[in-house]
Amino acid sequence: MAGRLEGKVAIITGAARGQGADEARAFVAEGAKVVLTDVLPEVHSVAAELGDAAVALDHDVTDEAQWGVVVKTALDRFGKLDVLVNNAGIFRPGTMLETTKEQFVAHTNVNQLGVFLGMKAAAPAMIANGSGSIVNIGSGAGQRGYPGIFAYLASKWAVTGMTKAVARELAPHKIRVNSVHPGLIATPMIAGPNDQAALAELAATVPLGRTGITADVVEVVIHLASDKSSYSTGSEFTMDGGTGL
């Protein structure tokens, strides 16, 4: 049976670990070719697992020139660009009063500027292709006013807004732009291998009684990358176990 992403070419940022690495694995399993990027060198071992269908690049999403290389690599290596998953992100908690200017700017740079630069770099290749799907990984923190994560929340609300604006702008080119809003997902971002007790405590705050796993997000990202979601653009797709209710 053909995979759900057969023939698609995708860029996935933040693919060294966590959700991005699992998205890359699932995309290849569904028939896609993938350019994986990250600031962490582990991105090369994830791509090596995936064989000829994958290539890894050292890439800081805040660097506009590096974005040019990423898109050129997709075109040179795989011939076109169908999908961009803006997944890279950073998370450092703190209330508004605790947040330093440096902490705020760091979130703005990676989580907001990085998403803008990615969309700007990828759109011309998608316009040339006559179609495309951009999936911006936001957060439940881009839909509600959760306390104690001020800089992160501000940057993720920007992702929600940019997604809607760009969905409007790129719709005439048949490029869809949607945002994905995970709740608490067990990745290195919120818990290391020794943080099982902390994860259990977090799980108790979730209406469905558990923290999420990467597969909870990956399934929705595959749907948005595929043609099965062809009537969705500018929309928010949430998987948070009911936390935002």
Ligand X SMILES: NC(=O)c1ccc[n+]([C@@H]2O[C@H](COP(=O)([O-])OP(=O)(O)OC[C@H]3O[C@@H](n4cnc5c(N)ncnc54)[C@H](O)[C@@H]3O)[C@@H](O)[C@H]2O)c1
Closest by alpha carbon to 138, among 89, 73, 208, 78?
89
The least CB distance from residue 46 to ligand X, in Å, is 9
Would you give the binding string for ligand X spanning residues 141-160, x where CB under 6 A is met? --------------------
Task: Choose between 127 and 146: whose C-beta lies nearer to ligand X.
Answer: 146
The least CB distance from residue 134 to ligand X, in Å, is 14
Q: Which stretch binds ligand X (CB under 6 A): 38-46, 71-79, 96-104, 125-133?
A: 38-46
The least CB distance from residue 130 to ligand X, in Å, is 28
Task: Choose between 190 and 206: whose C-beta lies nearer to ligand X.
Answer: 190
Q: Which stretch binds ligand X (CB under 6 A): 99-107, 179-187, 192-200, 228-236?
A: 179-187
61 binds ligand X (CB under 6 A): yes
The least CB distance from residue 199 to ligand X, in Å, is 10
Active site residue 146: no
Counting residues that bind ligand X (by CB under 6 A) gives: 29
In the region spanning residues 89 to 118, those forming contacts with ligand X, defined by CB under 6 A, are 89-91, 110
Contacts of residue 18, Cβ cutoff 8 Å, sequence gap at least 6 = 185, 187, 188, 189, 214
- Could you write out the three-class secondary structure of the chain? CCCCCCCCEEEEECCCCHHHHHHHHHHHHCCCEEEEEECCCCHHHHHHHCHHHEEEEECCCCCHHHHHHHHHHHHHHHCCCCEEEECCCCCCCECCCCCCHHHHHHHHHHHHHHHHHHHHHHHHHHHHHCCEEEEEECCHHHCCCCCCEHHHHHHHHHHHHHHHHHHHHHHHHCEEEEEEEECCECCCCCCCCCCHHHHHHHHCCCCCCCCECHHHHHHHHHHHHCHHHCCCCCCEEEECCCCCC
38 binds ligand X (CB under 6 A): yes
Q: List the catalytic residue out of 78, 150, 152, 237.
A: 152
Q: Which stretch binds ligand X (CB under 6 A): 26-34, 45-53, 58-66, 69-77?
A: 58-66
| Site for ligand X, rule CB under 6 A | 13-14, 16-20, 38-40, 59-62, 87-91, 110, 137, 139, 182, 184-185, 187-190
What are the residue numbers of the active site?
152
